[in-house]
């Protein structure tokens, strides 16, 4: 919904869902299609979360926008859901069944008249780092979050809104859609219960000093690799070295980069092994002769995912080395990188020099960085306890590390729990 659609500063609904990723969208859709009123709150300009940044799902290697488009359609055609983007929960008071939530809605600086024609961006001279592609390329100051954005509307980076050069964008818009004078709004929502689905962020790879990220060229993270492989990514889907655009002769995937490590993330993030095997398939599709190395502690591919692992093992140029990488160094003058690890199967030191290294960094729950309201209980790793009291129910990767399929199932259950916690409230 648009901020301009809010007739008063107080709203009322059965369920509030915080977080517009795959889990949050699922919870909102399932509850709304059961006949309940839902407000879905997302802090970024578009729904989709981490899934919108993916290239393909495993194990079928299909694009995530197939499923995302279905969810977007269900939201567009469902009158029971209100979507608030650029919105943040400031505080929550009350008790289950009678909660009051204060929400700040930040300005987009582009109103509902926007047709996403792109004329404003063509006229814009101001550049910014593109967070959708993890800063590997740039957009203009006024930009569309991505090709499947929901809502499908441009937005202006708030850090650049006072730049006088934006007048050229205003002048280029034939529809009067750009409003640089937009102000934040604060609304209060009376709600029965809350689903907290704020998702995750990748572990900060710069903290892994021995693995060279940010210091050694051509060391990237797994989330960056996902965008490199995407046709709407910074290289148009061509997997190449960032330093010089060179094609790959070889590549290494470093598992548990910071995970299962008491100095960083003590837990397993559940999806990294399969994500790296999937990304190895991306490389193989583009580079049939490239050597691919996977350094691992344990390969964790449970259940139906084991078939994907076994299929990967048939690749004669895909080498599995059981050992945790101790260090990554630049290979002098070539742009290549050298990895060193002890092969724990035979006790030898294994060194590999490759065109690029990919660090499989783990999941950090957003709740570990910003605690949820109502004194909701967190476990020792910062994940929201599934049985949290107070009318706030966790969903998806806010509760545990998991893949997309598990997050969808978990969110469906969370929606049911939240509606029960709401105590039959109806509007």
Residues 159-200: tens digit of each pLDDT: 999 999 999 999 999 999 999 999 999 999 999 999 999 999
Statement to judge: residues 163 and 18 lie in one domain: no
What pLDDT is recorded for position 389? 61
Query: Is residue 77 over pLDDT 50?
Result: yes
Q: State pTM to two decimals.
A: 0.94
24 within a domain of the structure (yes/no) = yes
Placement of tokens 């300009």 in the chain: 45
pLDDT tens-place string over residues 253-302: 999 999 999 999 999 999 999 999 999 999 999 999 999 999 999 999 98
Query: Is residue 63 over pLDDT 50?
Result: yes
What pLDDT is recorded for position 132? 97
Statement to judge: residues 335 and 222 lie in one domain: yes
Of 5-9, 224-228, 413-417, give the lowest mean pLDDT range.
5-9
Q: CB 304: neighbour CB atoms within 10 A? A: 9
* Mean local confidence (pLDDT), 11-24: 96
Per residue, the 3-state secondary structure of the chain, as one string, reads CCHHHCCCCEEEEEEEEECCCHHHHHHHHHHHHCCCCEEEECCCCCCCHHHHHCCCCCCCCCCCHHHHHHHHHHHHCCCCEEEECCEEEEEEEEECCEEEEEEEECCCCECCCCCCCCHHHHHCCCEEECHHHCCCCEEECEECCCCCCCCCCCEECHHHCCCHHHHHHHHHCCCCCECCCCCCEEEEEEEEEEEECCCEEECCHHHCHHHCCCCCCCEEEHHHHHHHHCCCCCCCCCCCCCCCCCCCCEEEEEEEECECCCCCECCCCCCHHHHHHHHHHHHHHHCCCCEEEEEECCCCCCHHHHHHHHHHCCCCCEEEEECCEEEEEECCCCCCEEEEEEECCCCEEEEEEECEEEEEECEEEHHHHCCCCCCCCECCCCCECCCCCCCEEECHHHCCCCCHHHHHHHHHHHHHHHHHHCCCCCC
pLDDT tens-place string over residues 371-423: 999 989 999 999 999 765 668 999 999 999 999 999 999 999 999 999 888 76
- Rounded Cα–Cα distance for residues 42 and 141 (Å): 21
The whole-chain average pLDDT of the chain stands at: 93
Statement to judge: residues 132 and 158 lie in one domain: yes
Q: Residue 317 sits in a domain of what CATH number?
A: 3.50.50.60
What pLDDT is recorded for position 427? 44
Statement to judge: residues 276 and 144 lie in one domain: no
Phi, psi (rounded to 5 degrees) for 273 = -65, -50
Q: Which two tokens mark 312?
A: 């990967």
Burial of 81 (0-12, 13-18, 19+ CB in 10 A): buried
Statement to judge: residues 253 and 337 lie in one domain: yes
Query: Is residue 321 over pLDDT 60?
Result: yes
Statement to judge: residues 93 and 50 lie in one domain: yes
Statement to judge: residues 352 and 212 lie in one domain: yes
pLDDT top residue among 391 and 125: 125
279 within a domain of the structure (yes/no) = yes
- Rounded Cα–Cα distance for residues 212 and 214 (Å): 6
Q: State which residues form the domain around 357.
A: 204-361
113 within a domain of the structure (yes/no) = no
Statement to judge: residues 211 and 321 lie in one domain: yes
283 within a domain of the structure (yes/no) = yes
- Rounded Cα–Cα distance for residues 122 and 140 (Å): 8
112 within a domain of the structure (yes/no) = no
427 within a domain of the structure (yes/no) = no
Q: How many domains does the chain have?
A: 3
111 within a domain of the structure (yes/no) = no
Statement to judge: residues 297 and 339 lie in one domain: yes
Percent of the chain with pLDDT over 90: 88
Residue ending a domain, among 361, 387, 411, is 361
What pLDDT is recorded for position 3? 46
- Rounded Cα–Cα distance for residues 15 and 193 (Å): 5
What pLDDT is recorded for position 204? 98
Phi, psi (rounded to 5 degrees) for 161 = -70, -20
Q: How far is CA 165 from CA 53, 154, 162, 192, in A?
A: 30, 17, 9, 46
Query: Is residue 426 over pLDDT 60?
Result: no
Statement to judge: residues 213 and 353 lie in one domain: yes
Statement to judge: residues 347 and 227 lie in one domain: yes
- Rounded Cα–Cα distance for residues 255 and 45 (Å): 32
Phi, psi (rounded to 5 degrees) for 137 = -145, -170
Residue ending a domain, among 316, 332, 361, is 361
Statement to judge: residues 247 and 273 lie in one domain: yes
143 within a domain of the structure (yes/no) = yes
* Mean local confidence (pLDDT), 88-108: 94
In contact, 287 and 294? CB cutoff 8 Å: no
Residue ending a domain, among 361, 387, 407, is 361
């Amino acid at each position: 919904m648009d901020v301009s659609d809010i007739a008063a500063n107080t709203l009322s609904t059965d369920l509030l869902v915080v977080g517009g990723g795959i889990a949050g969208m699922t919870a909102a859709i399932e509850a709304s299609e059961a006949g309940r009123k839902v407000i879905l709150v997302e802090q970024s300009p578009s729904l989709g979360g981490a899934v919108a940044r993916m290239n393909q799902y495993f194990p079928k290697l299909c694009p995530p926008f197939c499923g995302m488009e279905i969810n977007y359609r269900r939201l567009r055609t469902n009158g029971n859901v209100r979507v608030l983007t650029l919105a943040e929960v400031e505080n929550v008071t009350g008790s289950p069944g009678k909660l009051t939530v204060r929400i700040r809605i930040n300005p987009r600086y582009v109103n509902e008249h926007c047709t996403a024609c792109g004329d404003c961006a063509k006229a814009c001279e101001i550049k910014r780092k593109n967070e959708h592609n993890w800063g590997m390329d740039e957009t203009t100051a006024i930009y569309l979050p991505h090709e499947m954005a929901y809502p499908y509307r441009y937005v202006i980076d708030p850090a650049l809104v006072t730049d006088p050069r934006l007048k050229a964008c205003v002048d280029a818009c034939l529809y009067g859609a750009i409003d640089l004078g937009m102000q934040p709004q604060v609304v209060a929502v009376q709600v029965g219960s809350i689903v907290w689905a704020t998702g995750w962020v990748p572990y900060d790879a710069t903290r892994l000093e021995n693995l060279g990220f940010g210091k050694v060229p051509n060391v990237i993270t797994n989330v960056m690799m996902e965008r490199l492989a995407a046709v709407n990514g910074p290289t148009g889907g061509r997997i190449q070295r960032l330093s010089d655009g060179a094609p790959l002769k070889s590549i290494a995937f470093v598992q548990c980069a910071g995970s299962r490590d008491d100095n960083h993330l003590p837990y397993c993030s559940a999806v990294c092994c399969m994500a790296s095997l999937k990304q190895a398939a991306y490389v193989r599709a583009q580079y049939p002769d490239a050597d691919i190395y996977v350094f691992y502690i344990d390969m964790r591919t449970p259940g139906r995912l084991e078939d994907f692992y076994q299929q990967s093992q048939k690749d004669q140029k895909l080498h599995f080395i059981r050992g945790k990488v101790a260090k990554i160094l630049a290979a002098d003058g070539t742009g290549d990188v050298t990895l060193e690890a002890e092969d724990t199967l035979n006790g030898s030191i294994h060194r590999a020099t490759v065109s690029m290294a990919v660090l499989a960094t783990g999941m950090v729950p957003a709740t570990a960085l910003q605690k949820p309201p109502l004194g909701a209980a967190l476990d020792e790793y910062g994940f929201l306890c599934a049985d949290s009291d107070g009318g706030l129910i966790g969903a998806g990767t806010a509760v545990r590390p998991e893949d997309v399929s598990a997050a969808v199932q978990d969110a469906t259950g969370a929606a049911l729990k939240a509606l029960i916690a709401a105590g039959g409230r109806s509007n």
